[in-house]
Structure 1
Amino acid sequence: MSDDPAASDETRHDSDAPPHGEMRISPKPVNPPIFNLPTGVLVSLALVCGIYALQALVFSADINDWITFEFAFMPLRYVYPLGEQSFAWLWSPVTYSLLHGSFEHLAFNSLWLAAFGTPVCRRIGERRFLVFWIVTAVAAAALHAAVNWGEPSVMVGASGVISALMGAACRFAFGGRLRFAAAGREPPLLTIPAALSDRTVQIFILVWFLGNVAVAVGLPLMGTDSAAIAWDAHIGGFLMGFFGFRLFDRKHI
């Protein structure tokens, strides 16, 4: 037995060497993605940001006025015979969700879209996410029209859809989600009674509705002109997302 440290090191390396004829390949380090967002959310963000950039930097005032008239949602349209106007009454209950009135409006909605759109899109997939967007945008516009029937108001913004994403997240993303994530499994879809019984969901819904009630009665919200916030569309979207998410979920048991 040798007392030479170098000899012992050499012996140790030889014992760790792979058998003759085999090659040991060290795995390459995996670089995390720069944007850890689903494709559906990235496309949505690119679309709303791109449209706003064109309106703010490229299009003339006349073109922007035409875009607002043709693609924003206006309850007043539905007072007049639909056959005597353009088809804006048909597509505007969806297209309004792609328009934004200011950079602050866009930035605020983009942050919430990334936060709540990500878990929902990952769960239901890209195609269902698109359908979810369309259906919840229409639901938000419908309640806004019911509350403001015949009014010459103009509504733009993805807030109704984002509220629906928040409602959908209450059905699976709160409460014990971390326990399922730690086990590498998607959490099950909560029933409506189970979701409403969850402490975290209760607090979230309470705070969310109090905020919208405050806007409805005219209290300022984070320095924003509350009269310009379509609180009724928020509620319409949230209710559709919360109560109707099972129709879109592909993982429910």
Structure 2
Amino acid sequence: MERDQAATSPETDVDSTDVRSREPAFNLPPGLTGILSFLIAVHVLRTYVLPAEIDQELILNFAFLPVRYTLPLGEQGLVWLWTPVTYSFLHGSWEHLIFNVFWMVAFGAPVVRRIGMARLALFWCLSAAAAVGLHIIFHWGEMAVVIGASGVVSGLMGAAARFVFSPSGRISRQFAHLNRRLSFAETLTNRSVLVFTGIWFLTNLLVGFGFLSIGGAGSVAWEAHIGGFLFGFLLFAFFDPRR
């Protein structure tokens, strides 16, 4: 993991030409590489190794099902307790997984560099739960299975929006984690943040109304995307070590 290589304080926005010229084109924090490897390994195991019956059992015990919470929790063991997190490690197709990996590389890297793996583990669990928390409000009691890291990816996008854009709107890819966190007032008046957030919400609304399909999935839990994004955007300060 790369630490402060530029002479920069937490209150400095790093976007100089000299710094950008030294940024590698592709450099991921080891922790994020480990997460992506785990997601890929899980999908390889499910796709090429496990028999269909065992895979179905795995989905039943680790995917998120809204209907589960309409049943007496005492009759289900503890499955209801972990599925709001474990669903985020499963994917419906290679397209679904690759889509999430792509955006996790783009927005997860600066967040991981900024908050570290311990905070990221907590962020992952809570953003995953927040994502399906909003989803279940709109789909209470439904049998539809929810899987995929899209809610967490959306949370990482929301968190990154608080600091990757400097007040000038410029981004330093490798050193964006050194920027100071924008206040809500600054965020809501930063043109780059507003454009990014507006396009993100528009895309999800188009998905929700059936005008757009993303990630190779026929049905997208777009409410979960919004729940994750709002969690990251509104609550990132509680995970941010740079005060």
The letter of the residue matching 1:70 is N
CA RMSD of aligned residues (A): 2.4
Question: Aligned to 2:109, which of 93, 109, 118?
Answer: 118
Match of 1:29 in 2: none
The letter of the residue matching 1:194 is E
Task: Provide structure 1 residue ranges, at least 5 long, that are not aligned to the other structure.
Answer: 1-31
Residue pairs, 1:18-167, within 5 angstroms: 36-167=27-158
Quick one: structure 1 residues 204 and 82, their matched pair in 2 at CA, closer, same or farther if it must change by over 3 Å?
same
Moved runs in structure 1, 4+ residues, more than 3 A?
A: 32-35, 175-185, 222-226
> What secondary structure does 1:250 align onto?
coil
Counterpart Cα distance in 1 of 2:175 and 2:139:
48
Alpha carbons 1:40, 1:130 under 8 Å: kept: no
Per-residue deviation, 1:36: 1.6
Q: Per chain length, whose mean CA-contact separation is higher, i.e. which structure has more relative contact order (CA < 8 Å, sep 6+)?
A: 2
Residue pairs, 1:229-240, within 5 angstroms: 229-240=220-231
Task: Provide structure 2 residue ranges, at least 5 long, that are not aligned to the other structure.
Answer: 1-22
Q: TM-score, normalised by structure 1?
A: 0.81
Counterpart Cα distance in 1 of 2:86 and 2:174:
39
Moved more, 85-94 or 174-183: 174-183
Counterpart Cα distance in 2 of 1:223 and 1:122:
26
Q: Percent identical across equivalent pairs? A: 46
Alpha carbons 2:134, 2:227 under 8 Å: kept: yes
Counterpart Cα distance in 1 of 2:182 and 2:217:
36
Alpha carbons 2:99, 2:215 under 8 Å: kept: no
Quick one: structure 1 residues 142 and 220, their matched pair in 2 at CA, closer, same or farther if it must change by over 3 Å?
same
Per-residue deviation, 1:146: 1.0
Equivalenced residues, count: 220
Alpha carbons 1:180, 1:186 under 8 Å: kept: no
Match of 1:200 in 2: 192
| Bigger-Rg structure (1/2) | 1
Q: TM-score, normalised by structure 2?
A: 0.84
Residue pairs, 1:4-23, within 5 angstroms: none
The letter of the residue matching 1:142 is G
> What secondary structure does 1:137 align onto?
helix
Per-residue deviation, 1:34: 10
Counterpart Cα distance in 1 of 2:175 and 2:45:
45
The letter of the residue matching 1:65 is Q
Per-residue deviation, 1:129: 0.8
Match of 2:7 in 1: none
Quick one: structure 1 residues 60 and 184, their matched pair in 2 at CA, closer, same or farther if it must change by over 3 Å?
closer
Per-residue deviation, 1:223: 8.6
Counterpart Cα distance in 1 of 2:38 and 2:126:
18
Alpha carbons 2:207, 2:214 under 8 Å: kept: no
Match of 2:10 in 1: none
The letter of the residue matching 1:72 is A
> What secondary structure does 1:149 align onto?
coil
Counterpart Cα distance in 2 of 1:182 and 1:129:
18
Match of 1:168 in 2: 159
Counterpart Cα distance in 1 of 2:67 and 2:145:
9
Per-residue deviation, 1:47: 1.0
Counterpart Cα distance in 1 of 2:98 and 2:173:
29
Per-residue deviation, 1:33: 8.9
For each residue in 1:25-59, what CA deviation from the matched residue of structure 2 results, as whole angstroms up to 9, or x when unmatched?
A: xxxxxxx9996211221111011100000001110
Per-residue deviation, 1:181: 8.2
